[in-house]
């Protein structure tokens, strides 16, 4: 969540020597390779899933554990090469299952896997806990033929532990770094997923968002991040913050890759009752909406109030993006301010809802585990106190303490806050302004350029635009828009419930018309002359 290391690779991996053909070099086109390009190379026989997996593992060694020491990957799946071999054999005998067959994907470490990997939400308290089953999204990726390559670091408890936290820090993994400028924040809480994919440590990754945790790390790592409608993807098996806002989505280097990943993980799930509110009876192939001319005739509103004005440099990038949207055929309606933007930003209702739902939802998740060292939020708080040197060296756990004090989801304070969140963000907010102007999407800066990492005083965000979609449970996509002193800035497309297809069409056309993404340079800092 964004309200606003020690890196522990699995022991099985550390002690396992990767054997590769002695004369084969690392796949030279690995950097910035798209899923479609990797799939084509495997289809032609120029590449195997095992070779690709070995190459990503080698790159993790070179960039995450050595070199710039990104600290984005917590562990490698010790079964990854075995799985790759089986998928290669399946391809030879039966052909590929689909676009993700043999493609290595990283998972944020709050997405459960019932294998040899850990699922800890970055907390030492959950080391050794065992889920009964894969998270539904992880299971769907396996069915699609993806290789679950490993788990990524995150802001501990998805950044819902302290008001003074440093995004990208966890007790288990330490501090993840931004690959563009290493002393800058990777933003949170899907920080490891953002850094890893920007650095080409896997083809793509899954992140989770409660308020900004896919959008912000994607933007500061020059990625495409899709925050789906809340019940479009199952949350079953995902360490929660709040069921009214939590969602799982893709983080990738291109809109096409993000669309392919989203296509594999959507659909109703009996383990997540809210997913049955999804009007789509099954999975959707979102790659069908990739259209170079997708902006022609589109009506796009600029939501300025609250979401512009906190960073002049980010605003300048987005002003240029607005002109690029016009040149690509969009009709720009400017301004189209969300009527309740200030009410949402000044209200305490979001925090009230998150505190109440966190306690209830986390206790439910912990109770369902097959085994766990802790079984309640109260026990996690006690664990942190008992292991303060490792868990509380820089900032505290005041959000956990406040959540523990809540009295349940039938409390009038909670019910009023939830109703206010939905009213301000939906019928009086996004829905109202989009209906008034007959819009296809709203746009705004995703956030300011990445600030400097500060584990002592915590994050220093200037502002962001994730809150309306977060409170509404509506979709949003961030796409690279430009750079400020080597720091990426993202453009957010936001829409009404289940408008992912429209947003993907618009974002893809913008991406293809601008090609704003570029690979990181791993700078130590920004030089001031």
pLDDT mean across residues, the chain: 94
Vertex 289: Cα angle to 284 and 290 (nearest 5): 130
Whether the pLDDT of residue 12 is over 90: the answer is: no
Q: Could you confirm whether 529 is annotated as catalytic?
A: no
- The pLDDT assigned to 462 comes to 97
Q: Are strands 441-445 and 299-302 parallel, antiparallel or unpaired?
A: parallel
Q: What is the DSSP string of 404-424?
A: HT---TT-HHHHHHHHHHHHH
Q: How far apart are CA 33 and CA 253, in angstroms?
A: 9
Exactly one of 72, 108, 155, 263 is catalytic; name it.
Answer: 108
Active site residue 140: no
Point out the catalytic residue in the list 10, 162, 167, 189. Answer: 189
**Are 520 and 59 spatial neighbours (Cβ–Cβ below 8 Å)?**
no
Domain 11-291+446-514 has CATH 3.90.1300.10: yes
User: What's the half-sphere exposure (Cβ side, CA atoms, 13 Å) at 256?
Assistant: 14
Put simply, whether the predicted model's pTM sits higher than 0.85 gets the answer: yes
The pLDDT tens digits of the residues spanning 495-525 come to 999 999 999 999 999 999 999 999 999 999 9
Q: Which of 10, 72, 213, 349 is catalytic?
A: 213
List, for residues 103-161, the tens digit of each pLDDT value.
999 999 999 999 999 999 999 999 999 999 999 999 999 999 999 999 999 999 999 99
- pLDDT grade for 280, boundaries at 50, 70 and 90: confident
**Arithmetic mean of pLDDT, 24-37:** 75
Could you give the CA distance from residue 463 to residue 305 in angstroms, rounded to a whole number? 12
170 is an active site residue: no
């Amino acid at each position: 969540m964004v309200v606003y290391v020690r890196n522990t690779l699995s022991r099985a991996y550390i002690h396992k020597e990767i054997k590769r053909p002695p004369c084969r070099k690392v796949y030279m086109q690995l950097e910035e390779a798209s899923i479609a390009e990797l799939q084509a190379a495997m289809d032609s026989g120029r590449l195997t899933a095992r070779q690709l997996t070995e190459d990503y593992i080698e790159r993790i060694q070179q960039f995450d554990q050595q070199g710039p020491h990104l600290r984005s990957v917590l562990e490698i799946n010790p079964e990854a090469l075995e799985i790759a071999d089986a998928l290669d054999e399946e391809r030879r005998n039966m052909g590929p299952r689909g676009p993700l067959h043999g493609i290595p994907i990283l998972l944020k470490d709050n997405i459960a896997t019932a294998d040899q990997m850990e699922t800890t939400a970055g907390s030492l308290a959950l080391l050794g806990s065992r889920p009964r089953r894969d998270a539904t999204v992880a299971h769907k990726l396996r069915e699609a033929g993806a290789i679950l390559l490993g788990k990524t670091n995150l802001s501990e408890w998805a950044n819902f532990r302290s008001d003074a936290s440093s995004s990208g820090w966890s007790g288990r993994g330490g501090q993840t770094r931004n690959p563009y400028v290493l002393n800058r924040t990777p933003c949170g809480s899907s920080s490891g997923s953002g850094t890893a994919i920007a650095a080409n440590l896997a083809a793509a990754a899954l992140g989770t968002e409660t308020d900004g945790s896919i959008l912000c790390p994607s933007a500061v790592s020059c990625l495409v991040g899709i925050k789906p409608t809340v019940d479009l993807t199952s949350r079953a098996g995902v360490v929660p913050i709040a069921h009214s806002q939590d969602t799982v989505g893709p983080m990738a280097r291109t809109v096409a890759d993000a669309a392919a990943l989203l296509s594999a993980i959507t659909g109703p799930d009996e383990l997540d009752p809210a997913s049955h509110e999804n009007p789509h009876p099954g999975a959707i192939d979102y790659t069908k909406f990739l259209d170079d001319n997708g902006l022609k005739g589109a009506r796009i509103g600029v939501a300025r109030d609250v979401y512009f004005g906190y960073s002049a440099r980010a605003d300048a990038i987005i002003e240029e993006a607005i002109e690029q949207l016009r040149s690509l055929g969009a009709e720009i309606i400017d301004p189209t301010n969300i009527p309740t933007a200030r009410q949402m930003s000044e209200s305490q209702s979001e925090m009230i809802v998150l505190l109440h739902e966190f306690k209830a939802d986390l206790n439910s998740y912990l109770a369902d585990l097959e085994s766990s060292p802790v079984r309640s939020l109260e026990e996690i708080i006690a664990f942190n106190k008992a292991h303060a040197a490792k868990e509380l060296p820089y900032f505290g756990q005041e959000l956990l303490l406040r959540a523990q004090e809540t009295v349940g989801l039938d409390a009038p304070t909670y019910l009023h806050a939830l109703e206010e969140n939905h009213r301000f963000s939906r019928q009086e907010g996004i829905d109202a302004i989009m209906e008034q102007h007959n819009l296809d999407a709203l746009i705004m800066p995703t956030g300011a350029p990445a600030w400097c990492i500060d584990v002592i005083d915590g994050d220093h965000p200037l502002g962001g635009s994730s809150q309306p979609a977060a409170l509404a449970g509506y979709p949003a996509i961030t796409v690279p828009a430009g750079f400020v002193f080597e720091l990426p800035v993202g453009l957010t497309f936001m829409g009404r419930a289940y408008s992912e297809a429209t947003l993907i069409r618009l974002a893809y056309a913008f991406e293809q018309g601008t090609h704003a993404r570029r690979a990181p340079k791993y700078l130590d800092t920004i030089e001031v002359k």
